[in-house]
Structure 1
């Protein structure tokens, strides 16, 4: 539906509207798609409103004019045009075998058959789907609209088992190929999901889809914009820090207008608490395991660079980290570089919710502990706030010392150069602090800049095999990194941190503070 029902306890927007509903109007996008094309694909992260948008399309094609009163579609749609709709959804439940997938498809075809008042006789699922489309066209005298919600969920539910995921892919490919085969009887089709799987492996039978995932015109097709927050949700804003709402939940971008995740925002309005509402609905265990297996330098996650093609596809046996994190909603587009025939996209965390929550999970993975990182984070926040650098040194020294030797023995992760720096960075990122990595200056790049509580913290890291020589702090001073931030009129702390792969701990932690002039 186009009307988003409020969580229990949220005050209604306007008395003239139906009680318990806000109106965030996406119907203009629906009309444009229906008028300008035929086959579409859209990828968005989970809980982003994809099902809601397909419901909007369904009601539009079925001519439910009363639902669009006062919305964009009301005056620009032919309401005498009522089309039959076949709606297939894999959003509910989990299937872990080809037999279970076939049962799920059978269930979906049964539901549509009952709604449309038809009876099919073909035994094979693909043949039955084809028959359903033909019979629908014959009964209603109109070409059919086909909408598929969460088209890829059976594959994603089995992504850690490529053999089963491949079986799911083959079964779904047989189903989706019917849409193209019934081209003469289909007037419009749209598939939505989280990931864009390779056309060769899944969409070989439906290779004429128009992918609007990275179309700037539809960047805000799902989710809420800043304008929506300031107008539609204006009654919810008193008592909440408006800038913090933006920093914590806004920032998802697909080459156009940035948007908020609707689930997280509505939960904020309901609970009045800034929490990782969206992140907590699905722990990214597979992603964390993949990052660990590939020895990912975690500071690089907030500045990855990828091509448009890389971000728009992957297969069950080949999963680029950038594509997985982008499509799943853990990274989004920061900036675009363009050359003839090619876009290069720089990625970032969309907001503080994702940055803090993901890095908290990464800390657990990097240290092999669920409890140790948590016990240090509040302490770290207070030490930074009070500029207690002796305490900060002791905290991190104790933390590295707390990582069990047995964890090192069982994991290769600690053997790569960036391991110790990754832990240090993720600690700060997990606090939701404003961090700049590889911060450029006229004299080089600062490893990590942290702006917090009216203070500037400049970090330089070194990993040494033998004795420490104080090279980290020396580099900050010699390259005059602080000059970039002197205009702020805030204390600037120069911090050199050196790690030893031999002792598996910090061997030098030096600080010099430049006072405000």
Structure 2
């Protein structure tokens, strides 16, 4: 058992011993069908924290000769597959994490990788190998010596592509990958190639190192979507086990619609359940900096599109222009596509539209807005909690003042003047409300549509339900009257708690008035 060559099953053992473990071993059934075929090279490009490394550890444990994982896979889904024993612990495995080498060996990356693996080779084969030969030829020699083919796993394969501007190094690195996955020798020694990264494979002129890989991305990962992240059913079952409100977990961590499957961020869901606390677990400086980098780019329509998504909308996007390179962004579509691959936007493939997937990501956007051209918007969002509190407390005059301030901020971006713009302003003004409420715009009820209904979730505490009606050039009193006459409160039929009726009006001079009543 080595560190890089024929590793043990420690990584997968640790995953299985974790408090929350979801069986994703049927991925191995999919991979078994790829062994030794033209489809044996697999590239999984997903956002961080979606289980790519966990899957790599499982692949180690299943294929590597470095351990006997029979006990570890007992009672897992793969164990019932007819071919389970045929492939278990039958392969030479090389597992590399490029980012861990890159951190310390930017100048001699390839040499350092080869040195580390060769140290493992030497422990097993001693003087049987000529270690002066090229690395891929050493692998071929081991295959010739043992007759056992290789499974090669590379985590963070795109680390060099994302971080290096040294084209000579990139070229050398791609040649190294070519020798492992596409050389004539690899056609005999390679049973399976599995690489993971954030970016899809970059098409580099005159480079063909990875064009034989089948790609599975945040845009399209069928049929292995369910193995990266938690499915909705899995989250429902976990919420039941942990006595957590599913609707609240859904609002905070759902939204990654991949191939029609609602996928949840497994890291955030696990932390929320284990701590029994709904919160943002994606709060790190790099997240804010990354979002800010892309949303502050000076491309026509980008700011409008970001505002539309912040107010709950979806925007049409052409993902095909993105060159799979964060350093080459030439349009707003490229900027938004980059955010999809990073996990900061969701993507509806059927409608070809991007959107902010959940409230946790929305809070990351909120913090990312605090610098540059978005600073004014961020200052307005910072007043959202006060607005919600003042609404709940029935302070109509202060509510009108705060909405007026928000309206002044957003109308420079939202260039139309009617009830619809006020609706968008209200969505931004109550930006933090989705932490506690399911906020429904134009909810059908009674004899028409309520403009906004705020439905408290289990984590809302004593916060009341609210129905908000908007008017332009009329009166707040008229808005309240409409709620009552059209029986909008029927939208909350069966709700036993406190309900507030909120009427808001603004006139052509952008003066706002508000009335609040308790039902």
| TM-score > 0.5, shorter chain as reference | yes
1:89 aligned partner: 97
The one-character-per-residue Cα deviations of 1:154-174 (angstroms, maximum 9, x if unpaired) are 34346xxxxx27666444423
1:144 aligned partner: 150
Matches within 5 A, 1:273-312: 273-280=277-284, 282-293=286-297, 294=299, 295-297=302-304, 298-301=306-309, 302-307=313-318, 309=320
1:316 aligned partner: 327
1:180 aligned partner: 182
Bigger CA drift: 379-388 or 427-436?
Answer: 427-436
Cα deviation, residue 513, structure 1 = 7.6
Give the TM-score of the pair, scaled to structure 1. Answer: 0.72
Bigger CA drift: 428-437 or 373-382?
Answer: 428-437
Cα deviation, residue 45, structure 1 = 0.9
Distance 1:371 1:359, change over 3 A: closer
2:49 aligned partner: 47
Give yes or no for contact 1:173–1:202 (8 Å, CA) kept in 2: no
Give yes or no for contact 1:156–1:165 (8 Å, CA) kept in 2: no
Cα deviation, residue 276, structure 1 = 0.8
Give yes or no for contact 1:219–1:253 (8 Å, CA) kept in 2: no
Q: Secondary structure of the residue that 1:101 maps to in structure 2?
A: coil
Matches within 5 A, 1:59-208: 59-62=61-64, 64-66=68-70, 67-76=72-81, 77=84, 78-79=86-87, 82-92=90-100, 95=103, 100-117=105-122, 120-121=131-132, 128-157=134-163, 164=165, 169-178=170-179, 179-181=181-183, 182-200=186-204, 204-208=208-212
User: What is the rounded CA distance, in whole Å, between the counterparts of 1:440 and 1:304 in structure 2?
Assistant: 24
1:34 aligned partner: 32
Q: Secondary structure of the residue that 2:106 maps to in structure 1?
A: helix
Distance 1:388 1:87, change over 3 A: same
For the pair 1:326 / 2:340, whether they are aligned, the reply is: yes
Matches within 5 A, 1:231-246: 231=237, 235=241, 237-238=242-243, 240-246=244-250
Give yes or no for contact 1:91–1:150 (8 Å, CA) kept in 2: yes
Structure 2 unaligned regions, length at least 5: 1-8, 123-128, 457-463, 493-498
User: What is the rounded CA distance, in whole Å, between the counterparts of 1:101 and 1:22 in structure 2?
Assistant: 36
User: What is the rounded CA distance, in whole Å, between the counterparts of 2:107 and 2:101 in structure 1?
Assistant: 13
Distance 1:61 1:455, change over 3 A: same
**Of 331, 348, 353, the match for 2:355:** 348
**Of 19, 22, 25, the match for 1:24:** 22
Distance 1:492 1:370, change over 3 A: closer
Q: Aligned-pair RMSD on alpha carbons?
A: 4.5
